């Protein structure tokens, strides 16, 4: 019997093979991560445009410049192999000190609203923002030395002391909001790096005691000299407003009350884009920066807030997966510190707008106005992308 001609069957490409091919073709790209970041940036630009439209003190072009420069920096950092930086602890410490103390230099230092946090080098930038990058690299490099286990109390104190250096420097400006971000980054690094829970609890208790001591000593100084020395008056007022929201409705509580009015007036779907009144009429101060969440809530309502929170949740979950896939402690700590920083800023910013947290001036990631802040967020994205890319490359 004559044999029938054989027909070569073509199998559908296996999904794993297709993904591997795509990874080889675009080894630098984590598509879900890139999409979420892009959506967040675009969302932020729309809200910032509305917030600054009728405010002559802010320029939307400056925000666009921050995005453009940040995007270039992100690509460069993404391509760079982060593993080359794991042994430069001393260098990161020096860079942190120089960056954070640079606003104190004559000529270039700029004092704004009682804080020396900016430098003018043809354009004003905030070195403390950029120091967040080196703080993360410093803390990650410190903890990488212990291989995920930090049991010796002397070594723990040594690591903790190094991590506190940037905080001490930033408080000379003073910038309590950024200082709190540094502290939270350090706390995440210690947890991820394997510090004993007992040491962490003792450190937390010591921190609370130190805060109480600062307030007590400042009261003694006030009684003898007539003014506070350790904490600025506005810093104390922010804490009092948080504890007693109705203390001074037309004074220190004004910002909080207007923020809550803006959020509540948005309702389910908001007043409409560019239709917000609290910021456009100048009733809500610092709307493009500290209170950008209020602008979003007023104009796009609960639905707009839900979209933002969904994007943040996606960003955090994807970043967690990247951290879990890291093959080294240094890379995992970098990603977790970035995620921890974002989470702290999100919770603090939204919380202070709602009256659930003290007002600290901490901006909202990818949303608040500020070219320095936007560039730093892009660099953070590049750092996470670098961890993903170079771990995927080593597994191929």
Q: What tens digit of pLDDT does each residue of 357-396 get?
A: 887 878 999 999 988 999 999 999 999 999 999 887 566 5
Six-digit token pair at 50? 């509305």
CB 155 within 8 A of CB 87: no
What number is the average pLDDT over the span 80-105?
92
User: What distance in Å separates the CA atoms of residue 114 and residue 121, rounded to the nearest whole number?
Assistant: 20
3-state secondary structure 140-159: HHHHHCCCCCECCHHHHHHH
Peptide bond before 250: cis, by omega within 30 degrees of 0?
Answer: no
Partners of 109 in the β-ladder: 119
Partners of 195 in the β-ladder: 150
User: What distance in Å separates the CA atoms of residue 249 and residue 3, rounded to the nearest whole number?
Assistant: 94
Q: 109-112 and 124-125 as β-strands: parallel, antiparallel, unpaired? A: unpaired
User: 199: alpha, beta or left, given left = phi > 0 and alpha = psi -120 to 50?
Assistant: alpha
User: Averaging pLDDT over each range in 24-28, 48-52, 335-339, which range is the top one?
Assistant: 335-339
At residue 18, does pLDDT exceed 50?
A: no
Classify 117 as helix, strand or coil.
Answer: strand
Q: What tens digit of pLDDT does each residue of 153-186 get?
A: 999 999 999 999 999 999 988 888 899 999 999 9
Closest CA to 189 of 145, 254, 253: 145
Q: In terms of C-beta distances under 8 Å and separation of at least 24 residues, what long-range contacts does 201-208 make, across chains too?
A: 203/160
User: What distance in Å separates the CA atoms of residue 77 and residue 95, rounded to the nearest whole number?
Assistant: 17
CB 140 within 8 A of CB 162: no
Q: What tens digit of pLDDT does each residue of 109-136 get?
A: 887 766 788 888 877 888 999 999 999 9
CB 268 within 8 A of CB 303: yes
What number is the average pLDDT over the span 130-144?
95
């Amino acid at each position: 019997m004559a044999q029938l001609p054989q027909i070569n069957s073509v199998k559908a490409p296996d999904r794993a093979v297709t993904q591997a091919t795509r990874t080889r073709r675009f080894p630098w790209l984590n598509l879900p991560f890139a999409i979420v970041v892009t959506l967040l940036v675009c969302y932020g630009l729309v809200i910032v445009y509305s917030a600054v439209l009728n405010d002559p003190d802010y320029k939307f072009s400056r925000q666009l410049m921050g995005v453009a420069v940040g995007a270039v920096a992100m690509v460069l950092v993404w391509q760079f192999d982060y593993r080359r930086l794991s042994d430069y602890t001393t260098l990161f410490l020096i860079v942190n000190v120089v960056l954070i103390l640079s606003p104190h230099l004559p000529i270039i230092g700029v004092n704004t609203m009682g804080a020396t946090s900016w430098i003018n080098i043809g354009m004003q930038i905030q070195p403390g923002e950029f120091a967040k990058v080196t703080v993360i690299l410093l803390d990650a490099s410190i903890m990488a030395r212990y291989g995920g286990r930090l049991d010796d109390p002397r070594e723990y104190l040594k690591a903790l002391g190094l991590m506190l250096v940037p905080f001490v420097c930033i408080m000379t400006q003073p910038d309590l909001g950024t200082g709190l971000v540094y502290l939270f980054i350090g706390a995440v690094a210690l947890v991820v790096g394997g510090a004993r829970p007992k040491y962490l609890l003792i450190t937390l208790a010591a921190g609370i005691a130190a805060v109480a001591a600062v307030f007590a000593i400042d009261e003694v100084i006030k009684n003898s000299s007539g003014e506070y020395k350790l904490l600025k008056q506005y810093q104390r007022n922010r804490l009092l407003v948080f504890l007693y929201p109705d203390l001074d409705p037309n004074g220190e509580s004004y910002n909080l009350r207007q923020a809550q009015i803006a959020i509540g007036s948005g309702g389910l779907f908001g007043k409409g884009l560019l239709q917000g009144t609290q910021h456009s009429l100048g009733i809500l101060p610092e709307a493009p920066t500290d209170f950008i969440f209020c602008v979003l809530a007023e104009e796009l309502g609960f639905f707009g807030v839900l979209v933002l929170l969904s994007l943040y949740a996606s960003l955090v979950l994807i970043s967690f997966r990247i951290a879990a896939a890291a093959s080294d402690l240094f890379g995992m700590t970098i990603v977790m510190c970035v995620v921890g920083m974002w989470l702290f800023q999100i919770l603090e910013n939204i919380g202070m707008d709602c009256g659930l947290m003290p007002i600290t001036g901490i901006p909202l990631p990818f949303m608040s106005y500020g070219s320095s802040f936007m560039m730093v967020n892009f660099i953070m994205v590049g750092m996470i992308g670098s961890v993903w890319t170079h771990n995927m490359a080593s597994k191929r």
